Amino acid sequence: MSRILIVEDEESIAELEKDYLELSGFEVEIENRGDTGLARALAEDFDLFILDLMLPGVDGFEICKKIRKEKDTPVLMVSAKKDDIDKIHGLGLGADDYITKPFSPSELVARVKAHLSRYERLVGGVQKKNEIIEIRGLKIDKTARRVFINGVEKNFTTKEFDLLTFLASNPNRVFTKEELFSNIWDMESLGDIATVTVHIKKIREKIEADTSKPQYIETIWGVGYRFKV
């Protein structure tokens, strides 16, 4: 759940913003002073800040500037005067957006949602790239644990997926059935190397066009298996 900090000295406005944001599923905290608001903004993890401009202690301009030195978290400035907007621009504070009072609560919620999803896409783009193996028509998404053949998804059991991914991650290397068994199944597992043979057969049925002439997993007679690239 996204966490939002509102720094606003007019309590009725702060409460109104909080009510609407909570109705939309956000977790909301309020600080009524600029100095305490700034301290929390820097010390805690929030997903978005809503800052009033005129505040006791430290004003919204200063808070925004200090937040920007340390965080990329979206900042939405709230002002009572149109003149303030020019000042926000002029100071180059790095605020993501501003909204003038009086505003409709639904407009505030819409702006908050837009900034949060943009920020999540930005952060997500760096952190959450799926690890994918692609060989000819076979695509293995290691992160999502999904397998596709020519764009069509195939259902894999956990061990089938682990075995295929292990082989495909170590291409052109021959593994004995014993090696595969010890890598994919933990030592306590019941079963033996015949389990490997059974799983290879099932994987081939899913990924090979013709299981009698496998294009991906090759049998090396008397030794084991090799993933061909």
Asked if 84 touches Ca ion (CB under 5 A), the answer is no
Minimum CB distance to Ca ion, residue 54 (Å) = 4
Residue with tokens 């060989």: 135
Mask: binding to Ca ion, 180-219, rule CB under 5 A, as x and -? ----------------------------------------
Alpha-carbon distance 86 to 78, whole Å?
A: 13
- Which x/- pattern over 51-70 shows residues binding Ca ion (rule: CB under 5 A)? -x-x----------------
User: Which x/- pattern, by CB under 5 A, does the window 152-171 give for Ca ion?
Assistant: --------------------
Choice between 9 and 35, CB closer to Ca ion: 9
Is residue 9 a contact residue for Ca ion (CB under 5 A)? yes
Report the nearest approach of Ca ion to the CB of residue 100 (Å). Answer: 13
- Minimum CB–partner distance for residue 94 and Ca ion (Å): 21
Cα–Cα–Cα angle for 56, 24, 59, rounded to 5 degrees: 15
Radius of gyration, alpha carbons of the chain? 28
Please identify, using beta-carbon distances, which residue of 10 and 162 lies nearer to Ca ion: 10
Between the CA of residue 148 and those of 13, 105, 129, 141, 174, what are the distances in Å?
52, 45, 18, 8, 24
Total number of residues binding Ca ion (CB under 5 A)?
Answer: 3
The CA dihedral of 88, 92, 97, 101, to the nearest 10 degrees, is: -10
Give least dist CB 10 to Ca ion, A: 6
Q: What is the dihedral of CA 189, 195, 179, 224, to 10 degrees?
A: 180
- Shortest Cβ 83–Ca ion spacing (Å): 15
- From the list 48-56, 57-65, 141-149, 179-187, the region that binds Ca ion by CB under 5 A is 48-56
Residue 139 to residues 43, 136, 150, 172, 215: CA-CA distances in angstroms? 43, 8, 8, 17, 14
Q: Is 167 exposed, middle or buried (0-12, 13-18, 19+ CB in 10 A)?
A: buried
Please give the residue ranges that form the binding site for Ca ion (CB under 5 A): 9, 52, 54
